[in-house]
Chains A and B, each alone.
Chain A
Amino acid sequence: MSMTERAQQDPLVEYAKTLLTQLESGDALEAMNTIANLHQARDQFLFNEVGKLTRSLHESIKNFAIDTSRAGNKVHDEMSRMQDASERLNYVISKTEQAANKTMDMVENIIPLTSQLGERARALKPEWQRLMRKEIKPEEFRRLTRDVEKFLDLASDETSRIGSNLSDILLAQDFQDLTGQVIRRVIQLVHEVEDNLVNLVKMAGTIDQITGITHELPEKVVVDTGPNIGPEGPIINPEKRNDVVAGQDDVDALLSSLGF
């Protein structure tokens, strides 16, 4: 028992002893007064606990800087951390989207360059082989040397463009660092919110204990697995779950067991 709880319960012990003495000596009127005092002490104790709960609720709200203007309170001094977290996560979405689009731009840019280089090389090959077999005529040889020179210029230009696109793709991956930092801060906030909520639950539990309030726990809600199973998004821990497939092979096996 904490010091404050003992201090609050001491008067109860005192009143109880007095009450016993008064009852034994048949002093009914005084005994009634003592019972009233007992009640008052109990109420006081209760008020204190409710006060503590209210204060810590208030603290928690302040800690999260929850935007209370939504609850009708017009005071809205700084952006709430909850709203801040939402904006941070939106930043993650937009950063990753930008990076994906930039990477795809670069790749779409490179693909025709590489196929063009490949085509030109394949087109030169038969002529080149004829040269190696010494089957080529002088005018064909002149044309071939011009074509080879053009190809070498093209290869040199296109490979430097490809190289610069590849380093742009590399740079586009910098989102990982930025979004990682942002997500870490949001995770920290989630932990703080959890800790604060656990504290509130504990404190509310103390009040229940004092007042003797018991809550009827609702039956654990059975998740409705009707015809429409709600979408869940990517499964982040498939190894820990047995209701999900681990990959395409599992999907194919399941579908083929259904006659697909």
Chain B
Amino acid sequence: MNKNMKILIVDDFSTMRRIIKNLLRDLGFTNTQEADDGNSALPMLKATDFDFLITDWNMPGMTGIDLLKAVRADDKLKSLPVLMVTAEAKREQIIEAAQAGVNGYVVKPFTAQALKEKIEKIFERVDA
């Protein structure tokens, strides 16, 4: 796994972005950027080459599930690995995210260990 990969963290709460950013730093990933919803994230994704997207679901403006769908519908972005980190815990939602092509799903509140495991699992598959 490339520790220099460029990661975009999307969450409407700055504290949650900060927590994820800190956890990623502990895991050795320091090349991170932030956006506060899908509407601000999508242009960033299109403008620069990100290697990984971590997004919340419930955000004002464009939600994380819509962002995921927009990413999968975009020729340039469609194979970008996406991890959802969200408080949304309905089975239907998890199924919807899976069908929309999410690569991993972490429910809040989460542990550093859970985040680490999911990221490792995603890149094991991507690198394989």
- A residues apposed to B, CB below 8 Å: 97, 100-101, 104, 107-108, 225, 227-229, 231-235, 238, 243-245, 247-248, 251, 254-255, 258, 260
Say yes or no: is B58 at the interface (Cβ < 8 Å to chain A): yes
Report the stretch among B29-37, B46-54, B72-80, B87-95 that lies at the interface. B87-95
Question: How many A-B contacts are there with CB distance less than 8 Å?
Answer: 73
- Whose C-beta in chain B lies nearest to the C-beta of A225? B92
- Whose C-beta in chain A lies nearest to the C-beta of B115? A248
Instruction: Find out whether the CB atom of A248 lies under 8 angstroms from the CB atom of B88.
Output: no
Number of chain B residues whose Cβ lies closer than 8 Å to a Cβ of chain A = 29
Chain A to chain B: the 8 pairs with minimum beta-carbon distance, closest first? A231-B58, A100-B15, A234-B87, A244-B89, A235-B89, A245-B89, A229-B92, A248-B114
Instruction: Find out whether the CB atom of B107 lies under 8 angstroms from the CB atom of A251.
Output: yes
B111 to chain A, nearest CB (A): 8
Instruction: Find out whether the CB atom of A232 lies under 8 angstroms from the CB atom of B18.
Output: no
B98 to chain A, nearest CB (A): 5
Instruction: Find out whether the CB atom of A247 lies under 8 angstroms from the CB atom of B63.
Output: no
B87 to chain A, nearest CB (A): 4
Chain A residue contacts of B22, Cβ below 8 A:
104, 107-108
Known A245-B91, A245-B94; contact A255-B105, beta-carbon cutoff 8 A: yes
A166 to chain B, nearest CB (A): 17
Known A254-B94, A255-B98; contact A231-B89, beta-carbon cutoff 8 A: no
Q: Most A CB atoms within 10 A — which of B89, B91, B106?
A: B89
Instruction: Find out whether the CB atom of B90 lies under 8 angstroms from the CB atom of A227.
Output: no
- B residues apposed to A, CB below 8 Å: 13-15, 18-19, 22, 57-58, 63, 65-66, 87-96, 98, 105-108, 110-111, 114
Chain A residue contacts of B57, Cβ below 8 A:
231
Which of A107, A108, A234, A254 is within 8 Å of B108, CB to CB? A234
- Whose C-beta in chain B lies nearest to the C-beta of A226? B96
Not counting A101-B15, A245-B89, a sample of 6 additional A-B residue pairs whose C-beta atoms are within 8 angstroms of each other reads A229-B90, A243-B91, A251-B89, A251-B105, A254-B94, A258-B98
A231–B91 alpha-carbon span in the complex (Å): 12
Known A229-B90, A243-B91; contact A101-B18, beta-carbon cutoff 8 A: yes
A176–B19 alpha-carbon span in the complex (Å): 20
A244–B105 alpha-carbon span in the complex (Å): 14
Instruction: Find out whether the CB atom of B98 lies under 8 angstroms from the CB atom of A233.
Output: no
Known A101-B15, A104-B15, A108-B22; contact A243-B92, beta-carbon cutoff 8 A: yes
Chain A residue contacts of B96, Cβ below 8 A:
227-229
Instruction: Find out whether the CB atom of A251 lies under 8 angstroms from the CB atom of B94.
Output: yes
